[in-house]
Amino acid sequence: MADPMRIRAQVAGDKATVRVLMAHDMETGTRKDGAGKIIPAWFIQEVTVTHNGKTVLTAEWGPGVSKNPFLQLVVKGAKIGDKIGVTWKDNKGGTRSDEATTS
């Protein structure tokens, strides 16, 4: 499994601000290594965020997203103690899921 994500979810009123840092190289597929060979494309294609099991965000990413991507979103109707789940899938079939509790 890939390196873990850092998820922080802070509740203010009836909304939770969720901040996610994902560990991923995000290669565009156009860079060349020292020997001149193209480094193959390797990037996150799908991101899903769930709130207590219910999907609240899906994203389709491409090579334009930078290395170690940062995602921030606001989840309405969140309370302290709720579960926020984040899953990503990349173009090589790699995947990673992490969960955090709102505070």
Partner 1 sequence: MRMTKALSMIALACLASTSAWAQKTDIQKIEEYRAMLADGNPADLFEAKGEGLWKQKRGPKNASLEQCDLGKGPGVVKGVFIELPRYFADTKRVQDMESRLLTCMETLQGFNAAEIAKTPFGKGEQNNVTALAAFISAESKGMKFNLPQAHQEEKTFYEVGKRLFFQRAGSHDFSCASCHKDEKLRIRLQDLPKLTSNPGDGIGFAAWPAYRVSNGQLWTMQLRLNDCYRQQRFPYPGFASDATVALGVYLGVNAKGAVSTAPTIKR
* 3-class secondary structure, 61: coil
State which residue, 11 or 21, has the beta carbon closest to partner 1: 21
In the complex, the smallest distance separating the C-beta of residue 100 from partner 1, rounded to whole angstroms, is 13
3 binds partner 1 (CB under 8 A): yes
72 binds partner 1 (CB under 8 A): yes
Backbone angles phi, psi at 10, to 5 degrees: -115, 130
In the complex, the smallest distance separating the C-beta of residue 28 from partner 1, rounded to whole angstroms, is 12
In the complex, the smallest distance separating the C-beta of residue 23 from partner 1, rounded to whole angstroms, is 5
Among residue numbers 13 through 42, which ones bind partner 1 (CB under 8 A)? 19-21, 23
In 3D space, the residue among 98, 66, 64, 65 whose CA is nearest the CA of residue 84 turns out to be: 98
99 binds partner 1 (CB under 8 A): no
Tell me the C-alpha distance between 7 and 45, whole Å: 19
Residues facing residue 87 across a β-bridge: 48, 97
Tell me the C-alpha distance between 39 and 92, whole Å: 13
Residue ranges binding partner 1 (CB under 8 A): 3-4, 6, 19-21, 23, 66-68, 70, 72
